[in-house]
């Protein structure tokens, strides 16, 4: 216990011991069922394909059960859910040998899957709140030790009990420890939610909003996609290996249990050593920890390939043990990384969604099981490239992980809520098109009520910066915070719903619709409030009298300046918090430009914060309080517009560019 306390940096041990035991007794049930699969299949007179199909159907249903559990877990106390889940899986495990038909066996196994349903999302959220980030990965590692630890005990005991008393007795005897774990869990109090990270919202948002926000976390998204491949490969291999050992090497349940039990015991060492190394990397730089996990995954892919072609039992055993050690090391690391990038009020849902998306891998598992009907060896070999593909997605996630951890830094919320706080903030924003990088670490800060100009020549990256802020393009790196909330990776409609509206230069109208219809199209976010829509339409007519005279006219018949005016009016009806205007005056007559400028000033006076991309330096300096000058995808200047006038080296390129374009238009 002293060594464990030292390993956990002196943080309380009772929570992780209780959660460890709950996870371990669940392994007693699941590992017993996997190990004794050939004997259970024989008692029902079925082959591996049908037995595997039952197992896969249970796996398919489990994530859907986990979703409502995770929904409750993010909104209610989690310890009662953990205890209730343990009671459920204990009862269904006891009922497994009593099932008289295949249909009832399937129902009972669905019930016993409550262990995975609870241990994934609920235990993960509890660990993240019981333990600080400095000990969290190790806590996940200790929790995961229950998988090899409980698995080792279960496989060895279940094998010998089945040899001596039959497979039914193994379930009866191994259900007893669950009762002890449940009694101990009743003494563990509920931890404070979000103890170590910032809670973005006091109450978790509805499920769809939560799912959209989590999917926007780029490293999480690629991890989930990778899980669909790796999980599908692991599931199929787990079903096939007992049959493979029995038919290729003639191993009975007892020796099979010893072989797999040794592997699970060895994987415990892998967890302790691996998580210790990964925790150091995670503390230093999260992407290093994930990259370490990826390289370990490649080792497992090689081991799976060798397992399928192994002619000797000793080589097959080494491959099984290697894969088990890697799986044991990788799982807690991925869970700790998920906790690091998920907002505290959404963690349970994040763990549940990982399981649901991993469900896509059931298709790969089914392929493996079907191939196993004719050849266990080729079925296992076929799963190796599937696993490898998943690891490649994990490698892709490493590119985004450090930025995604930064998303939850509470300093961004504090800066947004301070006096004259930041409404918009970007840090290290990078964007590429077809592999060609066009933004290189762009940093912007815009305070509430400001009007900021974004200047630079064509190709400087101004429009791309706006597109990255509004969600039209997804950044390769860096982050965007709006009102203290990270919106990097959000879809355009999600950023618009939060109050970020972009006015595209000269292409924001529907030519075949009338002016009035275009304006009503612009009201899509408030369309359910008819009175508010009517009020905003009247305000538009006051702000843009010229449009009021053309409400029944087709937008396609308007002049270029009037179309730009209509585009600006469409944004006005939504009363955005932040308005991004791209090329307001491009190619317009001076009279129309002045009318547009008056409208922009009035919108800013009414409290709308504006970022204005503008080719005309005179217009930008007339309107804006501050300016950013961009060149070749980088910010070269930031400060008051008056100071920019002193930078002749920067302004010369803009004036020369404008003069060249002006001569081209007169030819």
Cα–Cα nearest to 466, from 495, 494, 437: 495
Residue 223 pLDDT = 92
Two structure tokens written together for 109: 């196994």
CATH number, domain 413-505+576-666, options 3.50.50.60, 3.20.10.10, 3.10.440.10, 3.40.50.300: 3.40.50.300
Q: Between β-strands 451-455 and 609-613, what pairing exists: parallel, antiparallel or unpaired?
A: parallel
Q: Which residues contact 560 (CB under 8 A, 6 or more apart)?
A: 506, 587, 588
Residue 365 pLDDT = 79
Structural element, H or E, at residue 453: strand 451-455
- Does residue 567 carry a pLDDT above 80? yes
Side by side, the strands of the sheet bearing 609-613 are 500-503, 578-582, 609-613, 451-455, 626-631, 634-640
- Does residue 202 carry a pLDDT above 80? no
Winning range, highest mean pLDDT, from 215-229, 322-336, 593-607, 637-651: 215-229
Residue 444 pLDDT = 93
Domain with CATH 3.40.50.300 in the chain: 413-505+576-666
- Does residue 388 carry a pLDDT above 90? yes
- Does residue 666 carry a pLDDT above 70? no
Mean of the pLDDT values across residues 584-603? 77
| Cβ–Cβ < 8 Å for 603, 572 | yes
| Cβ–Cβ < 8 Å for 35, 256 | yes
Q: Comparing 111-115, 136-140, 210-214, 298-302, which segment has the lowest mean pLDDT?
A: 111-115
Two structure tokens written together for 150: 């409980």
Mean of the pLDDT values across residues 90-108? 83
DSSP 96: G
Backbone Cα Rg of the chain:
30
Residue 323 Cα distances to 27, 241, 330, 390, angstroms? 18, 12, 10, 15
Mean of the pLDDT values across residues 624-642? 86
Q: Comparing 72-86, 258-272, 570-584, which segment has the lowest mean pLDDT?
A: 258-272
Residue 59 pLDDT = 66
Burial class (CB in 10 A: 0-12, 13-18, 19+), 395: middle
Cα–Cα nearest to 512, from 503, 521, 499, 502: 521
Residue 203 pLDDT = 64
Q: CA–CA separation, 414 vs 425, rounded Å?
A: 12
For tokens 């709308």, what's the residue? Answer: 608
* Percent residues over pLDDT 70 in the chain: 93
Residue 431 pLDDT = 92
Cα–Cα nearest to 204, from 14, 23, 71, 304: 71
Higher pLDDT, 276 or 12: 12
500 — pLDDT class (breaks 50, 70, 90): very high
pTM: 0.72
Q: CA–CA separation, 96 vs 103, rounded Å?
A: 12
Higher pLDDT, 446 or 70: 446
Mean of the pLDDT values across residues 634-646? 81
Burial class (CB in 10 A: 0-12, 13-18, 19+), 116: buried
Residue 201 pLDDT = 59
Cα–Cα nearest to 296, from 356, 245, 230: 230
664 — pLDDT class (breaks 50, 70, 90): very low
446 — pLDDT class (breaks 50, 70, 90): very high
Q: Comparing 77-86, 184-193, 450-459, 643-652, which segment has the lowest mean pLDDT?
A: 643-652
pLDDT in tens, 521-541: 888 888 788 888 888 888 888
What is the SS3 assignment for 157-213? HHHHHHHHHCHHHHHHHHCHHHHHHHHHHCCCCCCCCCCCCCCCCCCCCCHHHHHHH
Winning range, highest mean pLDDT, from 128-132, 250-254, 654-658: 128-132
- Does residue 501 carry a pLDDT above 60? yes
For helices 347-358 and 48-73, angle between their N-to-C axes, nearest 10 degrees: 160
204 — pLDDT class (breaks 50, 70, 90): low
Q: Comparing 227-241, 266-280, 281-295, 352-366, which segment has the lowest mean pLDDT?
A: 266-280
197 — pLDDT class (breaks 50, 70, 90): low
2-191+206-406 maps to CATH 1.20.210.10: no
pLDDT in tens, 568-577: 888 888 888 9
Q: Which residues contact 273 (CB under 8 A, 6 or more apart)?
A: 329
DSSP conformation letters of 579-616: EEEE-SSTT--HHHHHHHHHHHHHHHHTT-EEEEE-S-
Mean of the pLDDT values across residues 547-557? 86
Q: CA–CA separation, 623 vs 581, rounded Å?
A: 12
Mean pLDDT of the chain: 82
| Cβ–Cβ < 8 Å for 51, 236 | no
DSSP 573: T
- Does residue 367 carry a pLDDT above 90? no
For tokens 């969604």, what's the residue? Answer: 353
Q: CA–CA separation, 390 vs 614, rounded Å?
A: 44
Q: Comparing 269-283, 307-321, 367-381, 418-432, which segment has the lowest mean pLDDT?
A: 269-283
Widest CA span of the chain, in angstroms? Answer: 97
For tokens 């349903």, what's the residue? Answer: 117
- Does residue 280 carry a pLDDT above 70? yes
| Cβ–Cβ < 8 Å for 49, 370 | yes
578 — pLDDT class (breaks 50, 70, 90): very high
Beta-bridge mates of residue 502: 580
226 — pLDDT class (breaks 50, 70, 90): very high
For tokens 């889940």, what's the residue? Answer: 85
- Does residue 663 carry a pLDDT above 50? no
Domain with CATH 1.20.1250.20 in the chain: 2-191+206-406
- Does residue 660 carry a pLDDT above 50? no
């Amino acid at each position: 216990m002293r060594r464990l306390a030292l390993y956990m940096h002196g943080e309380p041990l009772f929570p992780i011991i209780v959660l460890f035991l709950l996870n371990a007794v669940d392994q007693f049930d699941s590992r017993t069922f996997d190990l004794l699969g050939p004997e259970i299949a024989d008692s029902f007179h079925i082959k591996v394909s049908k037995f595997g199909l039952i197992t896969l159907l249970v796996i398919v249903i489990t994530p859907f059960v986990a979703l409502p559990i995770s929904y409750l877990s993010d909104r209610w106390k989690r310890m009662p859910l953990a205890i209730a889940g343990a009671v459920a899986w204990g009862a269904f495990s006891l009922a497994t040998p009593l099932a008289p038909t295949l249909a009832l066996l399937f129902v009972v196994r669905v019930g016993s899957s409550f262990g995975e349903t609870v241990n994934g999302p609920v235990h993960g959220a509890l660990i993240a709140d019981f333990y600080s980030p400095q000990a969290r990965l190790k806590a996940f590692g200790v929790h995961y030790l229950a998988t090899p630890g409980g698995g080792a005990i279960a496989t060895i005991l279940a094998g010998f009990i089945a040899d001596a008393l039959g497979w039914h007795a193994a379930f009866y005897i191994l259900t007893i420890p669950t009762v002890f774990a449940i009694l101990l869990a009743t003494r563990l109090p509920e931890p404070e939610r979000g103890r170590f990270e910032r809670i973005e919202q006091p109450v978790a948002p509805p499920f769809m909003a939560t799912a959209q926000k989590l999917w926007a976390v780029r490293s999480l998204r690629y991890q989930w996609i990778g899980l669909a491949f790796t999980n599908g490969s692991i599931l199929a291999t787990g079903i096939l290996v007992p049959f493979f050992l029995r038919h290729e090497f003639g191993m009975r349940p007892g020796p099979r249990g010893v072989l797999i039990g040794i592997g699970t015991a060895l994987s415990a060492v892998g967890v302790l050593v691996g998580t210790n190394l990964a925790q150091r990397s995670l503390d230093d730089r999260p992407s290093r920890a994930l990259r370490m996990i990826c390289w370990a995954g490649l080792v497992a892919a090689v081991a799976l390939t060798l397992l399928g072609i192994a002619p000797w039992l000793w080589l097959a055993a080494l491959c099984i043990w290697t894969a088990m050690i890697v799986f044991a090391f990788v799982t807690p690391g991925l869970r700790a990384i998920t906790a690091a990038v998920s907002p505290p009020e959404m963690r349970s849902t994040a763990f549940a969604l990982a399981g649901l998306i991993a469900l896509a891998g059931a298709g790969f598992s089914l392929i493996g099981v079907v191939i196993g009907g004719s050849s266990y060896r080729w079925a296992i070999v076929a799963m190796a490239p599937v696993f490898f593909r998943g690891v490649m997605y994990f490698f892709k996630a490493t590119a985004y992980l450090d930025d995604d951890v930064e998303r939850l830094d509470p300093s961004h919320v504090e800066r947004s809520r301070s006096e004259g706080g930041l409404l918009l903030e970007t840090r290290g924003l990078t964007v590429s098109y077809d592999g060609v990088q066009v933004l290189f670490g762009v940093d912007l800060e815009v305070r509430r009520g400001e009007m900021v100009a974004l200047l630079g020549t064509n190709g400087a990256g101004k429009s791309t910066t706006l597109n990255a802020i509004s969600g039209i393009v997804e950044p390769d790196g860096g982050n965007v915070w709006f009102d203290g909330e990270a919106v990097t990776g959000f879809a355009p409609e999600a950023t618009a719903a939060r109050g970020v509206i972009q006015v595209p230069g000269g292409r924001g109208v529907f030519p075949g619709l009338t002016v009035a219809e275009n304006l009503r199209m612009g009201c899509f976010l408030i369309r359910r409030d008819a009175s508010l829509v009517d009020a905003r339409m009247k305000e538009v007519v006051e702000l843009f009298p010229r449009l009021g005279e053309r409400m029944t006219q087709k937008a396609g018949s308007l002049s270029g300046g009037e179309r730009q005016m209509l585009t600006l009016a469409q944004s006005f009806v939504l009363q955005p918090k932040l308005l991004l205007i791209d090329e307001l005056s491009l190619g317009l007559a001076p009279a129309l430009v002045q009318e547009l400028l008056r409208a922009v000033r009035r919108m800013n006076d009414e409290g709308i914060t504006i970022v204005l991309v503008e080719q005309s330096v005179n217009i930008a300096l007339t309107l804006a309080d501050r300016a950013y000058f961009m060149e070749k995808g980088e910010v070269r200047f930031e400060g008051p517009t008056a100071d920019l006038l002193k930078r002749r080296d920067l302004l010369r390129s803009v004036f020369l560019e404008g003069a060249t374009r002006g001569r081209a238009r007169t030819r």
